[in-house]
Amino acid sequence: MGNAFQRAKALPLSGKVGLALVIFWLAVALFGPMLAPYPVGAFVAYDVFDAQSAKHWLGSDYLGRDVLSRLLSGARYTVGLAAAAALLASTTGTALALTAAVGGSKVDEPLSRFMDMLISIPSKIFSLVLVAAFGSSLGLLLLIAAFTYVPGNYRIARALAVNLAQMDYVQVARARGEGRFHIAIAEILPNMIHPLLADFGLRFVFIVLLLSGLSFLGLGVQPPDADLGSLVRENISGLGEGALAILAPAVAIATLTVGVNLLIDAIGFSGKGKGR
Amino acid sequence: MSEAPHVEVKGLTVTARNAAGEIFPIVSGIDFALQRGEVLALIGESGSGKTTIALTLLGHARPGATIAGGSIRVGERDLTKLDRSALAQLRGNRIAYIAQSAASAFNPSRTIMDQVIEPALIHDLMPRAQAETKAVELFRALALPFPDTIGARYPHQLSGGQLQRLMAAMALITDPELVILDEPTTALDVTTQIEVLRAFKAVVLERGATAIYVSHDLAVVAQMADQIVVLSQGRIREAGAAAQILHAPADDYTKTLMAAARPAIRPAPEKIALPAAPLLEIRGLTAGYGKIGKDGRPRIPVLRDINLTIERGATLGVIGESGSGKSTIARVIAGLLPPASGQVLLDGEALPPGLQGRSRDQFRRVQLVFQNADTALNPAHSVGRILARPLAFYHGLKGNAARMRVLELLDLIRLPATLIDRPIGGLSGGQKQRINLARALAADPQLILCDEVTSALDTVVGAAILELMAELRRELGIATMFISHDISTVRAICDDILVLYSGTMVETGPRAAFGVAPFHPYTDLLIGSVPEMRAGWLEESHAGAAPPPIGETGDHPDLCRFQPRCAARVDGLCNTTPPPRRPLAKGSQILCHHGDESLCPL
Ligand SMILES: Nc1ncnc2c1ncn2[C@@H]1O[C@H](COP(=O)(O)OP(=O)(O)OP(=O)(O)O)[C@@H](O)[C@H]1O
Ligand code: SF4
Ligand SMILES: [Mg+2]
């Protein structure tokens, strides 16, 4: 634990800002609904698009609901869904990449060609088609987001793993008679964790944007629940007045993605600085 | 001698900042002076501050380091007092630097000529045409092949030794008053080194340039230097005229260096009564990289018709220059590279060609120790984990029993037990190489394949590793295949020796046979190229003499591969007929048209 604290202290300023934002949003995702002053769907204000007041810190939305409460509850969908999908995409992509790296060209070639094919499918269109076909649900959104980003992660992880598989210590392990599983997990994987973490952060940001985009089109998380993207969409009519109801979720998306980006850049940098 | 010295360094201190932000000296209290036209050698192990001092003579300190005190005078100027632009005017112009690895100093996408004359053009010293003429003169003086056209080539079309010489041409094009050579031959084979040294000596000394020669090799320095400064841990241990340092060193550290440079010959262990089959036998082995073609040869053939045996507890030395296929033999035995044809027998039993089909016990009995401990140990693992893995894998040792055995192994290789939980990254080169060796020992093997285990280490550290290996061999009776490019090391520790040239065995025999002439012409070249620790050796050595002219070479695949460089080649024989394998009276076998009577007893 002290170790993690020391490493956080060693981050450059931008990294510290990123870390603070990430911790803030994780906290909101975890505890937000408990802190929300009003129920998500309750009509509590007399007016729509109210400015902020002591009762409604972020004003009210297009139906007169409390924006702060909706934001605190909605962040959970965005953060949780994106984190789960990024995790799923990264583990699947990396597992396939390791298989390709230790499996030789007979495994590597077809797998890589298949991934090249997947990567050429435009992700938004693909999601639109699936949502149109099956109807939107949290489970489907998770799968779509994960599936879309497997090939990207695979490519990066494979490039890393194939290089590492040529290292002398891997050759030593092979000459010792080690099985492929051991080589992949014990010898190769530990040396790619750093870049993979950075990649995970990047996928997370992409997925936040993809989900927000889908929600904005009305295809994401369905009412009365709302993620940050749907909050922006449903309040679109307040854009002309510059209502807080639309600014707040937009700023939330921005700070979340910028925060994650700053943090991974800083981690990637200090990882390189340590040298190998 | 009344004249003021040309270069004078006084009280030089260079400092750097460590991780905790404290300032500490890298080198301190450095004083030396040299007259115009003299060569001064800086000698010491890696980390002793040689390069740091050499760089200060360019007015430069590595990032993070600063020249904190003292004066550096070159000619009239004190480099510590000059500003950036004045220094830039001097560098590559009045003061030139030749780095250790020329291969990485050249830009791969530009021609040699463009790069060699660049310093002259940058400093506006002469028009392009004149610079090119001058470059060609230098190419000629440096004994480069095709001096008139070599400038049009690209770096990848040239060998390491040629690039090193071209680097010298680049440095000398501006007629600098001071030349700094930083380990310019360390990365080269001995046979190339001698050519490069000759060329350097001719140009640097005969042009009367003042030079500073940085090296860890006393014997090389003996050929070049008028003065020697011995460094250790950032301080001068001893300084004086070359002859004094070489023949009457006063300092203990200098004496250690001298001793380490010439490994003591170890007596061969008593031959024990041997069981019928040798431990390892290789029969008719051909191997290479790439797909195996219809004719049974791989696309990039490397090894050709290799036959060898290693007895229990014996040491076989495999020697040859870079690219001769030494590591490839080890890879074939270990199963990493299936051979195209031929057999590897362990204890009289044929090993499956690749990794597939070998039993865990067969894996255990043969262990591979890679050349470069930096890459052979997984940086993500701790010392304990690296050593525990073979124990668990081969012997099923777990938990406390494994930990006890790891501690035993650390003790065996003379490392403190406290290292056990350390990550690999923080260890020194010598420590890593010991761990590398210990991992092989953990398997409890019968044969260790040691690929250049001391090449990347300083002489003193390398000598300690060799000492350790000899001891382990005595105690544990493990057979070793010792791969090296350094014939003096191999002659000192091996029972039998195999000389490899371009994948063919040109001479094999017991160690004693490598102490007396006649030798195969290539062995002769190898032995004759090892610098001796006395001035004047370079001029006397006949090694690397130009081969006699010869007619067209036939296209038979089994013709002698050494023929293009051989000083003893015979026209009408060597270029038309494959050489036979024949025994010599001294006990070795050679692959050559010459025999005892016709090889000159040099
Ligand atoms: N994977 C590979 N693919 C193709 N060619 C290779 C490969 N590995 C090595 N070679 C070639 O095989 C030849 C022998 O290489 P090897 O590594 O055995 O030489 P070596 O004697 O160990 O040299 P060094 O002293 O530099 O270690 C070289 O010409 C090299 O370029
Ligand atoms: S066979 Fe001819 S060319 Fe080859 S080493 Fe012997 S003398 Fe030289
Ligand atoms: Mg090698």
Q: How far is CA B71 from CA A149, B9, B11, B30, B59, in A?
A: 60, 6, 7, 10, 10
Q: pLDDT at position B471, please?
A: 83
- CATH says A20-35+72-275 is which class? mainly alpha
pLDDT at residue A131 greater than cutoff 90? no
- pLDDT digits 0-9 by tens, A62-83: 777 888 888 888 888 888 888 8
Q: Please, which pLDDT band fits residue B407 given cuts at 50, 70 and 90?
A: very high
Structural domain spans, chain A:
20-35+72-275
* Type of residue numbered B569: R
Q: pLDDT at position A273, please?
A: 37
- pLDDT digits 0-9 by tens, B115-132: 999 999 988 889 999 999
pLDDT at residue B59 greater than cutoff 60? yes
pLDDT at residue B21 greater than cutoff 60? yes
- Looking at per-residue confidence, does B602 or B414 come out higher? B414
Q: What number is the average pLDDT over the span A125-153? A: 86
Q: pLDDT at position B274, please?
A: 58
Residue B283 tokens read as 């029969």
- Reduced to 3 states (helix: H, G, I; strand: E, B; else coil), residue B108 is coil
Structural domain spans, chain B:
7-261, 280-515
Look at A55-59, B194-198, B343-347, B598-602 and tell me which has the smallest mean pLDDT: B598-602
**Interatomic CA distance for residues A36 and A21, integer angstroms:** 19
Q: Which helix (H) or strand (E) holds B54?
A: helix B50-56
Angle made by CA atoms B263, B441, B446, in degrees to the nearest 5? 90
- pLDDT digits 0-9 by tens, B157-195: 887 788 888 888 888 888 888 999 988 887 778 888 888
Q: Answer whether B387 touches A (CB < 8 Å).
A: no
Which chain B residue lies closest to A168 (C-alpha atoms)?
A: B376
Q: pLDDT at position A274, please?
A: 37
Q: What number is the average pLDDT over the span A159-170? A: 91
Provide the H-helix boundaries in A11-167: 13-35, 67-103, 105-119, 123-134, 138-165
Residue-level length of chain B:
602
Q: pLDDT at position A158, please?
A: 94
Contacts 24+ apart (CB under 8 A), B542-548: B542/B602, B543/B191, B543/B194, B544/B191, B544/B194, B544/B195, B544/B198
Which residues does A243 contact at the CB level (< 8 Å), separation at least 6? Answer: A49, A59, A235
Q: Which CATH superfamily is domain B280-515 in?
A: P-loop containing nucleotide triphosphate hydrolases (3.40.50.300)
Q: Please, which pLDDT band fits residue B522 given cuts at 50, 70 and 90?
A: very high
Q: pLDDT at position B130, please?
A: 92
Would B7-261 and B280-515 be classified into the same CATH topology?
Answer: yes
Nearest-atom number in ligand 2 for the CA of B568 is 7
The complex's ipTM works out to: 0.78
Instruction: Please say whether the beta carbons of B112 and B155 come within 8 A.
Output: yes
**Residues of B with CB below 8 A from A176's CB?**
363, 367, 389-390, 393, 443
pLDDT at residue A276 greater than cutoff 50? no
Atom 7 (ligand 2): residue with closest C-alpha?
A: B569
- pLDDT digits 0-9 by tens, B61-111: 877 788 888 889 988 888 888 888 888 888 888 898 888 777 778 888 899
**Interatomic CA distance for residues A69 and A51, integer angstroms:** 15
* Type of residue numbered A81: L
Crossing angle of the two packed helices B112-122 and B160-172, in degrees rounded to 10: 20
Q: pLDDT at position A136, please?
A: 78
Q: pLDDT at position A272, please?
A: 41
Q: What number is the average pLDDT over the span B324-345? A: 92
What is the CA(B288)–ligand 1 centre distance, in A? 9
Residue-level length of chain A:
276
pLDDT at residue B293 greater than cutoff 90? no
Q: Please, which pLDDT band fits residue B602 given cuts at 50, 70 and 90?
A: very low
Name the β-bridge partners of A66: A60
What is the CA(B457)–ligand 3 centre distance, in A? 15
The 8-class DSSP code of residue B377 comes to S
Q: pLDDT at position A121, please?
A: 84
Q: pLDDT at position A96, please?
A: 95
Look at A167-176, B194-203, B220-229 and tell me which has the smallest mean pLDDT: B194-203
Mean pLDDT value across chain B: 86
Q: What percent of chain A has pLDDT over 70?
A: 96
Contacts with B, A 196-255, CB within 8 Å: none
Q: Answer whether A9 touches B (CB < 8 Å).
A: no
Min Cα separation A130/chain B (Å): 42
CATH 3.40.50.300 fits B7-261, yes or no: yes
Look at A244-248, B41-45, B49-53, B553-557 and tell me which has the smallest mean pLDDT: B553-557
Which residues does B568 contact at the CB level (< 8 Å), separation at least 6? Answer: B521, B594, B599, B600
- Looking at per-residue confidence, does B376 or B22 come out higher? B376
What is the CA(B326)–ligand 3 centre distance, in A? 6
Q: What number is the average pLDDT over the span B540-546? A: 76
Angle made by CA atoms B261, B265, B270, in degrees to the nearest 5? 155
**Interatomic CA distance for residues B46 and B290, integer angstroms:** 38
Candidate from A168, A178, A186 with C-beta closest to B375: A168
Could you write out the DSSP letters of every residue in B80-102?
Answer: GG--HHHHHHHBTTTEEEE-S-H
Nearest-atom number in ligand 2 for the CA of B567 is 8
Q: Answer whether A174 touches B (CB < 8 Å).
A: yes
**Does the beta carbon of B364 lie inside 6 Å of ligand 2?**
no
**Interatomic CA distance for residues B178 and B90, integer angstroms:** 10
Instruction: Please say whether the beta carbons of B331 and B303 come within 8 A.
Output: no
Q: Answer whether B392 touches A (CB < 8 Å).
A: no
Q: pLDDT at position A58, please?
A: 79
Q: How far is CA B557 from CA A111, B553, B589, in A?
A: 41, 11, 21
Atom 2 (ligand 1): residue with closest C-alpha?
A: B289
- pLDDT digits 0-9 by tens, B437-473: 999 999 999 999 999 888 777 777 788 888 888 888 8
